[in-house]
Every structure is written in structure tokens, then in C-alpha cells.
Amino acid sequence: MQRFSDKVVLVTGAGSGIGRAAALRIAAEGGSVYCLDVNQAGLDETLALIAAEGGAAAAQLCDISDEAQVRAAVAACVARYGSLYALVNMAGILRFDDTDALETSAWQRVIDVNLTGTMILCREVLPHLLASRGSIVNAASTAALSGLPCGAAYSASKGGVLAMTRSIAVEYAKRGVRANCVCPGDINTGMTVDIKWPPNMDFELIGRISSLSGAKGPEVMAGVIAMLASEDGIHVTGEDIRVDGGTLS
């Protein structure tokens, strides 16, 4: 299956986790992938994995909360490949804090990356996606749909991504651009392995975010993302697709 032949896809968070899994899947399906991340070593590994399978990819360091860096990255992608068909927006940060001890600076950093950074990417790619009648896939979360203990900042950021994506979907549907969210739940990535728990965390509440079938790796997200980004999802826009093993069922 070569759903992305002759198509260019920009993937954020491509240096690890769900972003890497998405980049690998899209490259395997014939896409030219432009990979963004803040981790150069992670980007290098992703490029090596894609090259080993005969895929096409390039990479650039980019903090998505920095407007100048995002503009430069999008311009470099289009200059290299000549067009842009889809944005897969998976970059983000996760932290847990007792809400009564949540520092404003920590709150702001989560919002800056997860919500504002996602918006900046969407804004900067939209002129190119209007030309290609392309697609946006943003990373929301089950935390956007259900309470996450000690996750006020993260939940707020992902709820914002979900609402923003629906707004973009409505605004641009008649002009041929689709926008959807994936809502991962209980996915093992580096981000979830290295969690720093707050002092008063009630671990009995973690059962609320555990899947019925057990945690899975990021590769389970890749097929859903590829469907939404490709023309197989041509009649899907403004949706949030849960990939959570039944957590919220």
C-alpha cells in the first residue's frame, strides 16, 4: 500500500514515540517525510531507520513553540520537496503536578508547546495544504475527554487542541483541507516512561487511564494517523479518534 506516493508529510515529534512511528509508517507507504524534533540524536535515529527501509526523509531541529523556528522549518520543507500534503503534529510534553502546587511557569510551558505550538504549525502549513487539498492530524489525548489526575496543565492543553482542531475542520472543509485529532491512551513512549510524579500522587487513580487490553507501543497509533492523513480519510474531518484499548469505553 503506497497511499503517500508523491506526497510530502511534515511530522513533528519525529525523534521518538508516536511521531517516529508515524514517520516510519508514512515513509513505508511512499511518502517523503520532513521530520521535526528538539532532539538531534532522536532525529538522526529516525532518519537512519527510514533509510534502512528505503524511504525518503529529511530532518530539522525545531522547537514548535518558537514561531521563527517553525516558519523556517516549514519553508525549508517546501523548498526541499516543492509542496506539502499533510501535517502530523505529534510533538508535545507531559507532566504531572499537584494542582495546588502547579507553578505558573510550568503551566505556561505545557500550553506553549502542546497548544500554542500546535496552532503555530497549523497556521504556517495551511497555505500549502490549501494548495494541495491536504490534511492535518493533531495529537490530542484521552486527557482531553476524561479527567487526568494531577494533569490539569496537560489536560487543558489537549482539550484546547481538540477544540481548535474542530474549529479548523469547519473553517476549511469547503476549501478541501481536513483536520482531525488522535486521542492516544495508555501508549508506552519515552514521554510516559520518564514521568516525574508529584509528591501527593494517588496511584489508585492511575487505573482511570489504564487500557483494558494493556499498554501498547506507539506503532499502534501509526496506522490510524496514516489513515487520517491519507485520502482513505477523505470524508473524515473534525473527528477525535480514540486509540486507548477501551479505556474510556
Cell numbers found for residue 192: 510516559
Q: Are 90 and 182 in contact (CB under 8 A)?
A: no
- 154 classed as catalytic: yes
Q: Count Cα atoms within 13 angstroms, Cβ side, for 159.
A: 12
CA angle 108, 110, 113 (to 5 degrees): 105
3-state secondary structure of 9: strand
**What number of other Cβ atoms are within 10 A of residue 105's Cβ?**
7
34, 81, 154, 172: which one is catalytic?
154
CA distance 249 to 244: 9
Cell numbers found for residue 72: 523556517
Q: Are 62 and 70 in contact (CB under 8 A)?
A: yes
Q: Which residues are catalytic?
A: 154
